Amino acid sequence: MSQIHFVGAGQMAEAIIRAALSRKAVSARDITLADIDPERITRLRERYQLSSTHSEIDALAAADYIVIGVRPQDDIDGVARHIGQYASPQATIISIIAGVTLERLATLFGATRPIVRMIPNTLTDTGYGYSGVVFNQQVEAEPLMPFLESFGKVMLLEERLIDAFTGFAVAGINYVYYFIESLADAGVLSGLSRPQATKVVWENLVGGVEMLKISDKHPRQLMDINNSPAGVGINGLYELNNSDFAAGLQRSVMTAVRRTTELSGH
């Protein structure tokens, strides 16, 4: 099996490791870690029983895939210099850094090296949620797919769409959590208990998605069925239309997309 080395063992690296191990796409002895904080390495090695005995430099030299899990604001140039010094020229770089383009990654890691730019979703443990992925020309995709698909569904994209995908799709689960919280509060405001309100919101959310799938209807058509003339639902929707709901949501996504592009440092 391939050796996978993580540089930056933070939240996202851990989420990827947990999912990849639980789906048996990698084995615990083939995962190695590097991080500024040695305690974090020890903690993750213990938590996931990562049993490689390689030193950091030997791990880098042995790696087939190197996942770059540091933040856009971190010393990516320093990380790249260190990798360039010790890694095999054939090792594939998998960058999960928001905003950092293939062009910049090629400048940092070498234009002849296989490079994947991907933006994973934090829904790694669920089997739901898309990662946005783009390969440079050197990447041989087939052997890599079982690993990439172990922590999210893969959506192959043109690179020009990756920042939009980051702000809309990956940051997008925020809106679902926030919507659930806000709607459950509305249930409590109406007099239901917190557990009752939460159950209803979860069921409506999953049921709504299921209805869309099985009916093949547009959400507006299903809303029409749900609202009798001068009834309860249409009165509620009228009030929502007096708020900034749709435009506020859309502005929020556009701001997240802009922030992704800003983070590229260009």
Ligand X SMILES: O=C(O)[C@@H]1CCC=N1
Catalog residues that contact ligand NDP under the rule CB under 6 A: 7-13, 34-37, 40, 69-72, 74-75, 78-79, 96-98, 119-120, 122, 170
Supply φ then ψ for residue 157, to 5 degrees. Answer: -130, 155
Element (H, E) at 115: strand 115-119
| Contacts with ligand X, 142-181, as mask; x by CB under 6 A | ------------------------x---xx----------
What minimum distance in Å lies between the beta carbon of 178 and ligand X? 14
Q: Which two tokens stand for residue 257?
A: 């997309």
**Residue whose CB is less far from ligand NDP, 66 or 70:** 70
d(CA 114, CA 105): 10
How many residues contact ligand X, by CB under 6 A?
4
**Residue whose CB is less far from ligand NDP, 166 or 197:** 166
98, 105, 115, 133: which one binds ligand X (CB under 6 A): 98
One-letter amino acid for residue 159 of the chain: E
Secondary structure (DSSP) of 41-83: HHHHHHHTT------HHHHHHH-SEEEE---TTS-HHHHHHHH
What minimum distance in Å lies between the beta carbon of 91 and ligand NDP? 17
Determine contact, residues 62/55, Cβ cutoff 8 Å: no
What minimum distance in Å lies between the beta carbon of 66 and ligand NDP? 12
**Residue whose CB is less far from ligand X, 170 or 197:** 170
> Taking CB within 5 to 8 Å according to partner kind, which of ligand NDP, ligand X, none is near residue 91?
none
Q: Which residues contact 144 (CB under 8 A, 6 or more apart)?
A: 65, 92, 116
d(CA 88, CA 41): 23
d(CA 90, CA 83): 12
**Residue whose CB is less far from ligand X, 194 or 266:** 266
**Residue whose CB is less far from ligand NDP, 66 or 144:** 66
d(CA 23, CA 125): 9
Determine contact, residues 172/255, Cβ cutoff 8 Å: no
What minimum distance in Å lies between the beta carbon of 73 and ligand NDP? 9
> Taking CB within 5 to 8 Å according to partner kind, which of ligand NDP, ligand X, none is near residue 125?
none
**Residue whose CB is less far from ligand X, 42 or 250:** 250
Binding site for ligand X (CB under 6 A): 98, 166, 170-171
